[in-house]
């Protein structure tokens, strides 16, 4: 068991903790949990396996909850006072990505929202592990009396990701095959009651599977027994999402960044752009109309040296124009990749910039994201 720093709370365990230890995973503290950063084969092998077959991730540290009220419209409108997405327009079984916003239009957290296929008047939420306690307080504080938040502390969450994920899961839950990207349904997986969404954080096709905590071990063992499946730790999860151009909360987005700056304007649907009514809507609608002062962009450095978070970004004249927020080696590309914020004048594709890495100036250029094409099942 990993120890905690003196004076801090002891690290929490997911229901799958003993499985990770038995597999020889290197465990590290993450968002208050003792989590596997990698297994015996290492981060690059895990990354590549997910891209070619199927990787199994324990993401049970994430926060799972539900909003419940008298009907869909009431619950959806309550959530729409906190997020900029069109929640009212969700059809049963549909999932949508959005952000909890503060009054300045900054991002408190990003989250997934699902309208269950069965049962009106409920919305399922998945929020980030490091933010979940604050998110719960924030949501509860702003809910009307007729809507309540139910927190699912007793549930685990597994992610099965990669081009073979469909074949693997369909052996035990044939209904999984018919799910489209960003849709979800309750189903049994080899007799285990689950709620399955076709989504993930790798850029690959795949599923996130919510399961009662006391059945999580059985589900993990079932999936791990399939020949295409290997366990994947947080290290490869990060390199996969970086290649996919996906934001990591606390790094690429935070309470200062707006969805428009973060290149997430696609997650604000037309009705919300027209009506507003969400926190920070004045700033966000202004940025949608006139453009933000800075933008999140993809960066491709020359050579082999990765540019990590905090790296300065300079223009051709040597002036500071931005900062890297995520960066590392992209195993699929065999080259370093990075993302960060630059002043909007320097955000155009092909713009030549300089990254200052350990005192050395590395040429780079702005490139479109994702770095590796998404392979979602639309």
Tens digit of pLDDT at every position of the chain (378 positions)? 333 444 568 999 999 999 999 999 999 999 999 999 999 999 999 999 999 999 999 999 999 999 999 999 999 999 999 999 999 999 999 999 999 999 999 999 999 999 999 878 999 999 999 999 999 999 999 999 999 999 999 999 999 999 999 999 999 999 999 999 999 999 999 999 999 999 999 999 999 999 999 999 999 999 999 999 999 999 999 999 999 999 999 999 999 999 999 999 999 999 999 999 999 999 999 999 999 999 999 999 999 999 999 999 999 999 999 999 999 999 999 999 999 999 999 999 999 999 999 999 999 999 999 999 999 998
Residue stretches of the annotated binding site for substrate: 208
Whether the domain at 7-290 and the domain at 293-367 fall into the same CATH topology: no
Q: Which homologous superfamily does the CATH classification assign to the domain defined by 293-367?
A: Aminomethyltransferase beta-barrel domains (2.40.30.110)
At 295, give phi and psi (nearest 5°). -140, 145
pLDDT of residue 145: 98
The domain segmentation of the chain, as residue ranges, is 7-290, 293-367
| Domain range 7-290, CATH architecture | 2-Layer Sandwich (3.30)
What distance in Å separates the CA atoms of residue 347 and residue 63, rounded to the nearest whole number?
34
- CA-derived radius of gyration, the chain: 21
pLDDT of residue 9: 81
Pick left, alpha or beta for residue 245 (phi over 0 → left; psi -120 to 50 → alpha; otherwise beta): left
Q: CB count, 10 Å around CB of 360?
A: 10
What distance in Å separates the CA atoms of residue 354 and residue 364, rounded to the nearest whole number?
6
Tens of pLDDT, residues 161-188: 999 999 999 999 999 999 999 999 999 9
Is residue 157 a contact partner of residue 207, using CB atoms and an 8 Å limit?
no
Predicted TM-score (pTM) of this structure:
0.96
pLDDT of residue 378: 87
For residue 296, what are the β-bridge partners? Answer: 341
Residue stretches of the annotated binding site: 208
Tokens of 201: 């954080």
């Amino acid at each position: 068991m990993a120890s905690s720093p003196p004076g801090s709370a002891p690290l929490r365990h997911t229901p799958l903790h003993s499985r990770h230890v038995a597999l020889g995973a290197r465990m590290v503290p993450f968002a208050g949990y003792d989590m596997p950063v990698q297994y015996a084969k290492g981060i690059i092998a895990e990354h590549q396996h997910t891209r070619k077959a199927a990787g199994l991730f324990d993401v049970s540290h994430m926060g799972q909850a539900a909003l419940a009220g008298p009907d869909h419209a009431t619950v959806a409108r309550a959530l729409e006072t906190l997020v900029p997405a069109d929640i009212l327009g969700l059809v049963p079984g549909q999932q949508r990505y959005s952000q909890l916003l503060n009054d300045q239009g900054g991002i408190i957290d990003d989250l997934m929202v699902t309208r269950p296929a069965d049962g009106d008047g409920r919305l399922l939420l998945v929020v980030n592990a490091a933010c979940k306690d604050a998110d719960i307080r924030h949501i509860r504080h702003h809910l009307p009396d007729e809507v309540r938040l139910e927190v699912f502390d007793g549930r685990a969450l597994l992610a099965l990701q990669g081009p073979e994920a469909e074949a693997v899961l369909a052996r035990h839950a044939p209904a999984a095959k018919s799910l489209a990207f960003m849709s979800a349904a309750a189903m049994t997986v080899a007799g285990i009651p689950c709620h399955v969404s076709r989504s993930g954080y790798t850029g690959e096709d795949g599923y996130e599977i919510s399961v009662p905590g006391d059945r999580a071990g059985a589900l993990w063992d079932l999936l791990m027994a399939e020949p295409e499946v290997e366990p994947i730790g947080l290290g490869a999860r990060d390199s996969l999402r970086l290649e996919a151009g996906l934001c990591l909360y606390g790094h690429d987005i935070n309470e200062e960044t707006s969805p428009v700056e973060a290149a997430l304007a696609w997650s604000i649907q037309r009705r919300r752009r027209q009506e507003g009514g969400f926190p920070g809507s004045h700033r966000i609608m202004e940025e949608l109309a006139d453009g933000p002062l800075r933008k999140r962009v993809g960066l491709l450095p020359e050579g082999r040296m990765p540019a990590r978070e905090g790296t300065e970004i300079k223009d051709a004249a040597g002036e500071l124009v931005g900062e890297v927020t995520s960066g590392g080696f992209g195993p699929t590309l065999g080259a370093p990749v990075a993302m960060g914020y630059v002043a909007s004048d320097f955000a155009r594709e092909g713009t030549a910039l300089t990254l200052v890495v350990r005192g050395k100036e590395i040429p780079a250029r702005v490139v479109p994201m994702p770095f590796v094409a998404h392979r979602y099942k639309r």
